[in-house]
Amino acid sequence: MTASRTGLWKPWLKRRLSRRTTQQTPVRIEVPDAAGTVSAQLDGDRALSLHERALKPRDLGPLASSIRRSAEESSRADRSLLLLLGNGSFHTADDSVAGKVADIPPLAVARATATTHRSDPVTATETRLFGPRAEVAWYFPIVYGGTVVGVIAVAWNDRRRARRADPRPLHQLAHTSALPLLTSLLFTQARDAEHDALRLVDAVSALSATHTSEEVANVACLHARKLARARMVRLIERDPSGNHAVLSSNPGSNHPSNRSLRLSSALLQAIEEGDVCLDESPHRRSLFVPVRADGEVVAVLQFDFPATSTGPSERMLRLCGAVATQTGVALERARRTDELQRLAITDSLTGLANRRQVLRDLQRETSRGIRTGEAVSIAMIDLDHFKAFNDHHGHVEGDRELRAFGHFLDASVRAMDSVGRYGGEEFLLVLPRAPLADAFSAVDRLRREWLDESNVSFSAGVAALREGETFTDLVIRADTALYRAKRAGRNRVETDDGKIVSLSTLEPSSTTPKIPS
């Protein structure tokens, strides 16, 4: 009888023991926590093992994947997601969902984050996040110390399977994985902050090595794009008229720089008010960060993000602001450098090239003329009786006369010509590709036209480059011709050989400088 009873119960005992053994098989989620190995009992039968040696806290992606797999195994769900809370919105920690998690039902997420002490799952009938086949979804909040870390979400394609599922293992999984997730999140944030700090240091170093405004614009856009992980970064400046913006730098784009842009409301607010503005469109998200120099908004950095991305975090806003600040400092330094360089080669009274610059231009043209065999002529010009004019009318009127004569010369010569103030009331005119006769004709025409505008005449000496001589020799011969013109009565043009070329004997030349009539 006993044997027969034992024989009758043996199949039932085998099934019971087999089921119990299966239920007690640990679901290994290979993640650590801050204290080391943690083992928790799930539903009295399943164990969740966290192994410190298996995975380091910094590996957030594999940690999230392991939690997802454990959620699917413990609930026998068709799909699972681990949603982490960051910057006020949820996002996936791995590549289980591409792009922004915008389809999470807001009501279900709000209930999930608020249901921290309930044992019932949060059920949602809207399951677009899991695909069209999902019918039921459960959301389990991951909370540690009152802080919502994220949400474990599982979904089934069949409602009947969802009814048979037990929520307790998932609640235990959410409770046990809270600390490892929080540790990994904090570690990831610290690592990202360190990388961002290094990128910011690189950006500051690169901006410090720039010299021109164009270099500043290109370097700022390239480093800002890496720092903000943006799709594109552009530097936009407002034109002096204030009616439109000018694109200064647009690296990595097929659109050219230095083109006019339409002033959108967000861009206009960033330029005029100096506010950080976010402009959202169906195709992209644009962040406009003002760039200041000496307290004034001189440009705007535009950060373009995909439309599916989440909004910029506070840290990202601070980083973008830091890049904008350093860009403003570099722009101001570059502009001051440009201004110093301009002042170093420009005569402050007339606006023409100063003596150093015009002699540099002459040296360049003479070297080119010697190399190519083309003609190069110069004219040394001096205003007649200018000391007497100053004594009679005063230095203020004298400065006005010099300024007017400088503007007259600058507006009358060709684009290839160079003109500069040599010293006092003397001016040097460099005429490349102009033979002696053509240069004489052009300068004498200038003399006659100047008399129509002023009572102060000028004398000039013209010389052409000869074979084997330097630019200094050329200047000496032109200066000698100038003094010959002054001794001959002033208000005239002389050549270095002492021969005054009759204008009627000159034939027109294509290289003759065109003087406006």
Q: What are 235-269's pLDDT values in tens digits? A: 888 766 655 566 666 665 555 555 566 667 777 77
CB 425 within 8 A of CB 386: yes
pLDDT in tens, 323-367: 999 999 998 998 888 888 888 999 999 999 999 999 999 999 999
Backbone angles phi, psi at 387, to 5 degrees: -65, -40
pLDDT grade for 427, boundaries at 50, 70 and 90: very high
pLDDT grade for 15, boundaries at 50, 70 and 90: low
CB 128 within 8 A of CB 103: yes
CA atoms within 13 A on the CB side of 174: 33
Q: Output the pLDDT for position 138.
A: 83
The pTM (predicted TM-score) of the whole model is 0.61
Backbone angles phi, psi at 35, to 5 degrees: -90, -10
What is the DSSP annotation of 58-99? T-HHHHHHHHHHHHHHHHT-SEEEEEEEETTEEEESSTTS-S
Nearest residue to 121 via CA among 72, 69, 174, 179: 174
Mean of the per-residue pLDDT values of the chain? 77
Q: How far is CA 395 from CA 318, 382, 386, 400, 471, in A?
A: 56, 17, 10, 8, 33
pLDDT in tens, 136-147: 888 888 888 777
Residue 76's CB: how many other CB atoms inside 10 A?
13
Q: Output the pLDDT for position 269.
A: 79
Query: What is the C-alpha separation between 401 and 372, in angstroms, rounded?
Result: 38
pLDDT grade for 396, boundaries at 50, 70 and 90: very high
Asked about 425 being catalytic, the answer comes back as yes
Does residue 433 register a pLDDT over 80?
yes
Specify the higher pLDDT residue, 471 or 168: 471
Query: What single DSSP character describes residue 514?
Result: P
Average pLDDT over residues 378-405: 94
Nearest residue to 447 via CA among 435, 462, 432, 434: 462
Average pLDDT over residues 376-383: 96
pLDDT in tens, 88-128: 556 666 544 433 444 455 445 555 555 544 545 566 555 66
Q: Percent of the chain scored above 70 by pLDDT?
A: 70
pLDDT in tens, 450-498: 999 999 999 999 999 998 899 999 999 999 999 999 999 999 999 987 6
Q: Output the pLDDT for position 294.
A: 83
CB 229 within 8 A of CB 312: no
pLDDT grade for 517, boundaries at 50, 70 and 90: very low
Q: Output the pLDDT for position 490.
A: 92
Q: Output the pLDDT for position 304.
A: 87
Does residue 389 register a pLDDT over 70?
yes
pLDDT in tens, 19-75: 444 443 333 333 333 333 333 333 333 333 433 333 344 567 788 888 888 888 888
Tokens of 402: 């010099």
Say which of 215, 425, 469, 494 is annotated catalytic: 425
Q: How far is CA 81 from CA 102, 231, 286, 448, 450, in A?
A: 14, 27, 29, 88, 84
Q: Output the pLDDT for position 515.
A: 36
Query: What is the C-alpha separation between 339 and 333, in angstroms, rounded?
Result: 10
Backbone angles phi, psi at 370, to 5 degrees: -65, -40
Q: Output the pLDDT for position 95.
A: 43
**Residue pointed to by tokens 């610059």:** 357
